[in-house]
Amino acid sequence: MSNDVWNSVLHAGIATFMKRPIMEPKRELIEKNNVKAGIIGVPFDGTTITRTGSTMGPRKFRDVSSSLIPYHFDYDVDINDVFNVHDFGDVNVKIGDAFTTIERSKEDILEILHGGAIPITIGGDHAITIGGTRAVEKFNPSGKYGFILFDAHLDTAEDVGGDKWNHCCPVPRTMELSCFDPKNAVIIGPHGAMNPKAEYEYVKKNNISLHTMRDIYSKGIEEVMKEAIEVATDGTDGVYISFDMDSLEASQTPGTCAPTPGGIQTREMILAIDMLGKLDVVGFDVVEIAPPYDHSDITAITAARFVADMLGSLARYQK
């Protein structure tokens, strides 16, 4: 291995994802430079009802990603050879205004989609998923997309105190869109005493596929993923995926807004991502990284690993 590769992991220079070039999220630039995937941050946690801090997530995520290299050993691919990954910076969030921030996110992510790249959105609280799925609808309103959510919580609140643009509401806001259908939606990992009955009733009423942690305990992650993928890809043009870091076992990823013991093991998520690589992924996000509570940056490091794994898993089918 050349010294240049090792030099790339030094903590120097501007913190971008894996030290990739930074670029404005403009479709003409993306298309001209043949960018096929890129990071966009949304440093916003204005709707968090537990503990705040995920507004710092995108910056910490980029910082720790400096220790990654583009060659992915598990898949024997160079991520940048396949995707020419760029960093599109952060959305211009509006402090205290979730809806405006979501709309600004939607427009930036829409530019990435029109440029022919996969948008990878880093949060921030879970309300940012709404911007991603709204961008997909505007990009292809007549399309049909599956939706897979990894979360310790159902996130199916129709509103929180009358507010529809809350981090507890990404599923209803997504299911209201023309290109998403509850029959192609899957929620993986809910458990514990932080899931209101009304949110469970929403799941049942809309026939959303649900795989709780107890399902993972009994069936194993591989069987759960087989069932989830079958639902999300049934007659769809692609799939949008959302990874909430609190879906993971709290002792392995403590730096989240609502860490919950008993969640998905890190290596189980790595296996899940391995299986997701065969999908036509229209976009994905990683949310609820909260650095103030993160011991040794382990949650941010894990999130960066998941993004690299997702790109590697996808790249092997395109190389």
1-49: pLDDT as tens digits: 455 676 666 666 788 999 999 999 999 999 999 999 999 999 999 999 9
CA-CA distance, 181 to 175, in Å (whole number)? 6
Q: What is the set of domains in the chain, with CATH numbers? A: 3-142+237-315 (3.40.800.10)
Is the pTM for the entire model greater than 0.85? yes
Report the percentage of the chain scoring pLDDT > 90.
95
Which residues lie below 8 Å from residue 35, measured CB to CB, with a gap of 6+? Answer: 23, 29, 83, 84, 85, 86, 115, 116, 117
Q: Residues with Cβ < 8 Å from 236, sequence gap 6 or more? A: 144, 145, 146, 184
Q: What is the CA radius of gyration of the chain?
A: 18
65-101: per-residue pLDDT in tens? 999 999 999 999 999 999 999 999 999 999 999 999 9
Encode pLDDT of 262-293 as tens digits. Answer: 999 999 999 999 999 999 999 999 999 999 99
- Over residues 175-197, the mean pLDDT reads 97
- Report pLDDT for 13: 74
Determine phi and psi for 240, rounding to 5 degrees: -105, 135
